[in-house]
Structure 1
């Protein structure tokens, strides 16, 4: 018998300069929706989990408005690339690289994310 990921003790971790930082339990991330988390230095990260259980992390600040809102954006794919569209001006950000799909001169920091047993 296998156990669904939501009932196990899996944690989501981000790679920061100092090492891996535990953000939350995996069951806190609903597929297709974002969650904002506070990092130790005061920045915010937007975390996403897709329907195939892949995890993504990008900065939560929309560079076009300065508002910390990317975690509340709509997710989708364009040319096979996962993205989140800002809820304010609708620019799309690649969840793997942080690059803006609508303006290649703009990007947000992207983080390596993993799930680990608690």
Structure 2
């Protein structure tokens, strides 16, 4: 007996979106400085079919304080990168990761000045 697999029109299953090493380095640079100040304590990385998400936690048992999302399908419209707050609002969106991460660095500068 042979089992036939239905043809879906794709030769390979879609690959999950992921962060490149240089992108992850930039994100971890900001994350490391906030950990050193005692503001952030944990993170999680999710590679989904349509986007990659770097979630930042103040405590491991809480909801993420921030999410840095890479969504390639939005590249031509709003930009690949977005920083999303705890309440789901998009704090910054753009084509360049460095520019989008500035919204988090402003919070870093405020913490150092206090």
TM-score, normalization by structure 2: 0.34
| Bigger helix fraction | 2
| Bigger strand fraction | 1
TM-score, normalization by structure 1: 0.33
Higher RCO (C-alpha under 8 Å, 6+ residues apart) = 1
